[in-house]
Structure 1
Amino acid sequence: MFMGEFLHSIDTKGRVIVPSKFRDELGASFVVTRGLDKCLFAYPMDEWKNLEEKLKKLPLTKKDARAFTRFFFSGAVECEVDKQGRINIPQSLRKYAGLDKECNVIGVSNRIEFWASDSWEDYVTDSEESFAELAENLMDFDI
């Protein structure tokens, strides 16, 4: 399980450190793709394969299903951590997430997320105000 929050710089070549705490669980290679809320999602290969199988079951005849799978899979890249513990995030993904100088890397159960620091701060501020309401709404799911 991934959890925690880490702040790292992005170098001029688009590389960011993957926290050592996450590297073992991610494995030798993993997938990074566009996520929701203008961040990037990174999945270990086994989680990616599980997600891929679920998304394959979406009906091709549904416009929303086609749009989501296109968006999600077209941005996906396989990454490997270099000897310094960094990955190179492609320019198109950095642009999508607004990743420029600083990046928050957070653990979210079965995935990690890469956020532009200012976007993450805004998200946390907005979420703090509605956290109790979110929790109340999720109680319907036996959490």
Structure 2
Amino acid sequence: MAFVGTYDHTLDGKGRLVLPAKFRSHFADTAYLSPWAGCVALWTAERFEVMVRRLETEVRAGATDANVLRGLAARSEEVRPDAQGRIMIPARLQSFAKLERDLVVCGAIDWIEIWNAPSWDDMADDLDHSVAEAFRQGSGI
């Protein structure tokens, strides 16, 4: 499953986000939230496990600092969607990504990103430029 698409959503007063209907079935049981580059990443349990195993291998090989794995473990949260498809975003992660009421939820192929809407808007032009440049350079996307 490739997570694609961009959806406008809101964070309720209790810090809950309703997952886009298109994504819900992939997070029916357990999911993981992690701080990411200016946003919060939402991973399926399977993808999170793959990422952790890869990092463990890199740490053992000396290719990645152990603090990367330590930081991921310490700052990530396991979440379980409720019957309405809502996940609770902890205050610490809300603060990290400056999440307020208006959010953008977007697919990032292997995970989902949860953005503060104004931060997403600021970045959207750069995304369009990056994709256009990749096409121009013939990267095959």
Q: Same fold (TM over 0.5)?
A: yes
Q: Which runs of 4+ in 1 moved over 6 A?
A: none
Contact 1:33/1:42, CA 8 A, preserved across alignment = yes
Aligned to 2:35: 34
Greater share of strand = 1
Look up the equivalent residue of 1:120 and give its one-letter code: W
Deviations 1:5-49 (A, max 9, x none): 11111111111111111011223111111112x111111111111
- Segments of structure 1 that go 5 or more residues without pairing to the other structure are none
Residues 1-143 of structure 1: pairs in structure 2 closer than 5 A:
1-36=2-37, 38-59=38-59, 65-135=65-135, 139=139
Q: What is the count of residue pairs matched by the alignment?
A: 140
Greater share of helix = 1
- Residue 22 of structure 1 aligns to a residue in which SS? helix
- Segments of structure 2 that go 5 or more residues without pairing to the other structure are none
- Distance in 2 (CA, whole Å) between partners of 1:137 and 1:77 is 39
Look up the equivalent residue of 1:10 and give its one-letter code: L
- Distance in 1 (CA, whole Å) between partners of 2:97 and 2:79 is 17
- Distance in 1 (CA, whole Å) between partners of 2:138 and 2:53 is 26
Distance 1:89 1:134, change over 3 A: same
Using the aligned pairs only, state the percent identity.
Answer: 27
Look up the equivalent residue of 1:118 and give its one-letter code: P
